[in-house]
Amino acid sequence: MMSLPTYPLNAFKGTLLLVACCLFVALSATGQQPDKRHVTPVKPETNQVKPPPKGTDEKIIQQYISGDSAAAIAEARKDSLRRVYKHYPLITDLTVGLNVADPLFMAFGQTYASTDVSATLNMWNRLQPTIELGLGWANSSPDDKNFTYKGKPSPYVKVGLNYNFMFKSIPDYQVLVGLRLGYSNFGYDVTNVVNFNSYWQETTSYNITGERSHALWGEAGVGLKVKLWDKLSMGWMIRYHGIFNYGKNRHSSPWFIPGYGPRKSSLGFSLGFYYALPIHTKSSSKSQATTTTANP
């Protein structure tokens, strides 16, 4: 009788283990299938382009129709900004004004005055170069002084610049900050000068006439201008000023400076009425044409 060959027990176990590992690897490989991407179907009614808002520029509408929605949205944003913030031309208008503050104060007892006419160029409704030409005079006997000061009517000039903080709004209402440089060459008399000699117990009086002087000063102010009717407006400005230099005489110094006020004062005030004269420039025509094209 033939006997079956015998294998060592350890070799048999190794073979079984190898077969089991191969089956495990094969089953694992067949089980790892890539995940399928689940795509939500698009309904036909959700794939429609919504109509643009009423009043939208034709260029934007064409971009919507062509499917370029990103460009259409960007152009619509620019169009909305043009509607909110107006683009003003280089020169908006020329404004002429009359300062009536001091003549008005003289009606309430003030003994000196400076009044002027002004011309202001409104650029982009933001920067406003300005010039003021005026006349100042005085006839005052200060309570704390021993003389009468008579300032002869003398001219003065101021040049400067305003900045309009409401440049994004219409020119009818403006909040202003301004700088000025002023100059005056003037004459004056000092009369009824009283001196008391304590030693001799005597009082003497004399006059100083025909004096001449000049002054250079600077101003910084804040103000407001509002529309009254049509192109007529009213405005005021509080001004802080200081003298750079002035002419001194041998026997006297000026008490009042035309356009400035009392020499030792540091505050001034102006109240004026203004009329705007429209100016049409080439730049404004281009700006209007651009606005018309962008906003039919």
What CATH code is carried by the domain that includes residue 146? 2.40.160.20
pLDDT recorded at residue 246: 96
With left for phi above 0 and alpha for psi between -120 and 50, is residue 158 left, alpha or beta?
beta
Between 176-180, 200-204, 256-260, the lowest mean confidence (pLDDT) is in 200-204
Name the pTM for this structure: 0.66
Contact status, residue 249 vs residue 211, Cβ threshold 8 Å: yes
**Per the domain annotation, does 57 fall within a domain?**
no
Q: Distance between CA atoms of 282 and 288, rounded to whole angstroms? A: 10
Q: In terms of pLDDT, which residue wins out, 200 or 170? A: 170
DSSP per-residue string spanning 63-111: HHHHT-HHHHHHHHHHHHHHHHS----S--EEEEEEE-HHHHHHTTT--
Q: Which domain holds residue 185?
A: 93-280
User: Both tokens of residue 111?
Assistant: 């003994």
| Amino acid found at 92 | T
Sign of CA dihedral 54, 55, 57, 58: positive
Between 86-90, 259-263, 271-275, the lowest mean confidence (pLDDT) is in 86-90
**Per the domain annotation, does 71 fall within a domain?**
no
User: Both tokens of residue 77?
Assistant: 């944003």
pLDDT recorded at residue 193: 86
**Per the domain annotation, does 261 fall within a domain?**
yes
Residue 78 has pLDDT above 50, yes or no: yes
Residue 114 has pLDDT above 60, yes or no: yes
Q: In terms of pLDDT, which residue wins out, 162 or 9? A: 162
pLDDT recorded at residue 239: 97
- For 10-22, write each residue's pLDDT tens digit: 666 666 677 677 6
**Per the domain annotation, does 25 fall within a domain?**
no
**Per the domain annotation, does 191 fall within a domain?**
yes
Q: In terms of pLDDT, which residue wins out, 194 or 234? A: 234
CA 192 to chain centre: 50
Q: Distance between CA atoms of 237 and 222, rounded to whole angstroms? A: 5
pLDDT recorded at residue 146: 84
**Per the domain annotation, does 55 fall within a domain?**
no
Q: Distance between CA atoms of 151 and 156, rounded to whole angstroms? A: 13
At residue 69 the predicted structure's pLDDT band, cuts being 50, 70 and 90, is: low
As a whole-number percent, the residues of the chain with pLDDT over 90 amount to 52
pLDDT recorded at residue 145: 82
Residue 64 has pLDDT above 70, yes or no: no
Residue 110 has pLDDT above 90, yes or no: yes
Q: Which residue has the tokens 């202001």?
A: 120
**Per the domain annotation, does 289 fall within a domain?**
no
With left for phi above 0 and alpha for psi between -120 and 50, is residue 55 left, alpha or beta?
left
Question: What is the average pLDDT score of the chain?
Answer: 80
Residue 227 has pLDDT above 90, yes or no: yes
- Number of separate domains in the chain: 1
Closest CA to 182 of 103, 253, 239, 249: 239
**Per the domain annotation, does 115 fall within a domain?**
yes
Residue 55 neighbours by CB under 8 Å, 6+ apart: none
Q: Within 13 A of 192's CA, how many CA atoms are on the CB side?
A: 10
